[in-house]
């Protein structure tokens, strides 16, 4: 067994005129973007910073994919939308798994640098808020937290004023002939989505005969996966915060764990859960 290998002759070595890996990814900027504020610098602050920076990168990609999925529903390109949602689910798994790394930060270690965070808080993540907006949990008041950042406020305002992923899916179903109530299609897209029992008829049709309505059925289940994953992320967030700071007030002024716990009651696609309650067993066919 060899303990080393020589560079192959064709491997590029001169990057004076060629684009390098580091240049393409702007690694100098990315790897130079960690600036611990604790004095003296505490060893574990780097973990805290990288955890949140990488989460923001994944949120950026998630939002990119959700916008594209929404556009897919708008143009009735369901396979494209499903491809995007499949990628979103993998991103969600990665984000959820990341909490296990931050959970290695003990309360004693975090308290060594927590005060240096001042009023900064994950609650102020405008990309997280953007993801919630496009999925249906809209709240114009949340934009006020980001008025100091023109770019963030503009992004959130645009998403507040536009249909959600679910809105476009329901409009797609209406174009396919499913009985989507007019009040749903004409709803105020600036408002947080609320359950409308009139939609249950359409979803009951879909779920009562999946083979006949496979495209719609598959999409409904993909959306359920997205919401389940989101709830798992919220729960892991809550439990990581609880094991790190207990029930202390958050650095951004929220009630901390208690505030996060309330998010577990939020839902994006309520009718997709409600339809399960009203489904009837399939009728059995008699055999001669």
pLDDT of residue 205: 98
CATH number, domain 41-122+164-277 = 1.20.58.480
110 is in an annotated binding site: yes
Which letter does DSSP use for residue 209 in this model?
A: -
5 is in an annotated binding site: no
96 is in an annotated binding site: no
Distance CA 253, CA 206 (A): 45
In the chain, domain spans:
41-122+164-277
pLDDT of residue 288: 47
pLDDT of residue 284: 64
Cα separation values, 121 from 93, 203, 255, Å: 23, 39, 12
251 is in an annotated binding site: yes
CA diameter of the chain: 84
180 is in an annotated binding site: no
164 is in an annotated binding site: no
Distance CA 164, CA 65 (A): 13
Half-sphere exposure of 73 (CA within 13 A, CB side): 25
Instruction: With beta carbons less than 8 A apart as the criterion, state whether 141 and 151 touch.
Output: no
pLDDT of residue 64: 98
Half-sphere exposure of 193 (CA within 13 A, CB side): 26
pLDDT of residue 221: 98
Q: Is 256 exposed, middle or buried (0-12, 13-18, 19+ CB in 10 A)?
A: buried
Distance of CA 226 to the CA centre of its chain: 8
Which own/partner pairs from 212-219 qualify as long-range (CB within 8 Å, at least 24 positions apart)? 215/78, 216/173, 216/176, 216/178, 218/82, 219/78, 219/81, 219/82, 219/169
Q: Which pLDDT tens digits describe the chain residue by residue (288 residues)?
A: 778 888 887 888 888 889 999 999 999 999 999 999 999 999 999 999 999 999 999 999 999 999 999 999 999 999 999 999 999 999 999 999 999 999 999 999 999 999 999 989 888 999 999 999 999 999 999 999 999 999 999 999 999 999 999 999 999 999 999 999 999 999 999 999 999 999 999 999 999 999 999 999 999 999 999 999 999 999 999 999 999 999 898 888 888 888 888 888 889 999 999 999 999 987 765 554
Which of 92, 94, 72, 95 lies closest to 82, judged by CA? 72
52 is in an annotated binding site: yes
24 is in an annotated binding site: no
Six-digit token pair at 35?
A: 């600036």
128 is in an annotated binding site: no
């Amino acid at each position: 067994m060899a303990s080393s290998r020589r560079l192959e002759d064709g491997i590029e070595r001169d990057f004076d005129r060629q684009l390098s890996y580091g240049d393409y990814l702007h690694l100098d900027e990315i790897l130079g973007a960690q600036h611990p504020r604790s004095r003296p610098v505490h060893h574990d602050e780097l973990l805290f910073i990288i955890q949140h920076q990488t989460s923001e990168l994944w949120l950026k990609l998630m939002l990119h994919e959700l916008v594209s999925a929404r556009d897919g529903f708008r143009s009735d390109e369901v396979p494209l939308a499903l491809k995007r949602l499949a990628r979103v689910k993998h991103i969600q798994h990665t984000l959820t798994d990341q909490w296990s790394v931050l959970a290695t930060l003990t309360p004693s270690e975090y308290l060594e640098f927590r005060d240096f965070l001042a009023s900064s808080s994950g609650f102020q993540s405008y990309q997280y808020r953007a993801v919630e907006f496009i999925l249906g949990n809209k709240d114009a008041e949340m934009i006020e937290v980001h008025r100091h950042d023109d770019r963030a406020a503009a992004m959130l305002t645009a998403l507040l004023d536009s249909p959600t992923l679910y809105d476009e899916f329901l409009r797609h179903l209406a174009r396919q002939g499913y009985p989507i109530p007019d009040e749903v299609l004409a709803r105020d897209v600036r408002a947080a989505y609320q359950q409308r029992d009139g939609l249950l008829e359409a979803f009951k049709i879909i779920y009562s005969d999946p083979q006949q309505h496979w495209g719609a059925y598959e999409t409904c289940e993909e959306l359920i996966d997205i919401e389940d994953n989101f709830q798992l992320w919220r729960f892991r967030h809550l439990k990581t915060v609880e094991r790190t700071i207990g029930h202390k007030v958050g650095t951004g002024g929220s009630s901390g764990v208690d505030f996060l716990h309330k998010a577990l009651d939020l839902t994006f696609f309520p009718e997709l859960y409600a339809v399960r309650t009203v489904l009837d067993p399939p009728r059995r066919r008699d055999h001669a």
